[in-house]
Structure 1
Amino acid sequence: MTTTYPFPVSGDEFKGKRVLVTGGTKGMGQAMVRRFTLSGASVATTARSPLSDGQAVPLFVQTDIGTAAGVQDVISRIQQEWGGLDILVNNVGGSDAQNGGYKALSDDDWQKALNVNLLASVRLDRAFLPGMIERKSGVILHISSIQHRLPLYDATLAYAAAKGALNTYNKGLANEVGPKGVRVNMISPGFIETSGAHGMILQLAQSSGISEDAARQQIMNMIGGIPIGRPGQPEEV
């Protein structure tokens, strides 16, 4: 399948850079892995599931970075193979909580949301920042969500709260390490129709007894509308 990007791609823009994109086998993560690879970077990624047939990544770690042990798996492999990173993209995130608002969220649901959407980034940053600071060069990107300020409370309240915490952490970390040569930035995508988001559309359609298109429109309305009239695509982030 040919991927079309809405911006120029240079074959040497990231030449020689060591890049980790967490959760890079689907959706936005997969699009970022492709983009960095096309631009000359050495790219590593992670996922809980094995690579699909036909997928190829220079360095792949199959693990769950929603756990401290899973994060350590990634850290150990990167340090062993590359000795550090130049660019860290903390992309892993999401929610599989059931519908039902605050009443449906157990302590386990809340802890899982924090582990995946906040603590995975904190743990990886803590491991790779010292090398970046020593070199006085490096970039950390945190992929947040528009839900940090426009939460969809029915099924993703814990997710939205964790992303809000990630935003605050991002600002503080940027202030701390910016003067030491490391750039820390955050991207808060709106409604991007990844496979996970499409699953949420189908879940809403089924639970509400409406069509898929109506469910998609309902989500767009809940986040205040989208000027182009459709969700974004992963390659557009």
Structure 2
Amino acid sequence: MNNKRNNRYKSRGSILVITALAAIVWIFIAQSLFIVGAGGFGMIKSSRVALQAQQYAEIEVDRLKNVAYENLDSNGAHSRQAIANIQESGWEDEVSIGSEHAISGSDDAKQRIATINVYKSGDTLPRFTLEVPLSSQSSNSGNEQSTLSESGWKRFSDGLTIEWGAASGTGKHVFPRAFSKVFSVTITKNNDNSGGAPGVDTIITGTDNTGFYTRIQKMWDTQYNGASLSNDWHSVYYIAVGIS
């Protein structure tokens, strides 16, 4: 009888031990699941923040591409500051512009590297960093003509530039905007001007990045042989094409 009673107590004690061990195991499993879940949530949140930082950096890239290459230091670079015109506050960025260097295989083209760092307020290290090359050829500066009068220019996003104006007389005529390379200059007579003597004409004698040179010459011997070739004669219009 005593043996049966002792066996019953031992059986009950074993069940209690097994139950306690099972409870402990379940506690460890629950804690592990909580840690894994919290870590996953943290990773999702961290990824969302990193994606936001990347998007804000790309917005800054768009702004930099609309800054004239020659104004990158003054209008492109800035120290760490709050990002304006966004819905969520607490974001900051900074932009630094690297030193200039020539682009290999390109005539007179220069390049600088802009580094954009995006932070959350209070961060020591950036949440996202982006480096973008900015070249003198691809700058969007001057993407619209400066004037619609007789003298002006238009620069396209790939650097191609068209300039126009009026000129008269012998000598150098300065472009409204300097080129980095001139492709061609074409002149036509100004129909609003009688051109003075019909026996003279204006020819282009040379070009450089800042202007072109003309000379008024006699086309044939006429009654104007003895006439002075006045600078007022043969006013012309010009169109210049190149890269700036």
Instruction: Report the TM-score when normalising by structure 2.
Output: 0.23
Larger gyration radius, structure 1 or structure 2:
2
Which structure carries more strand by proportion? 2
Q: Which has the higher contact order (CA 8 A, sep 6+)?
A: 1
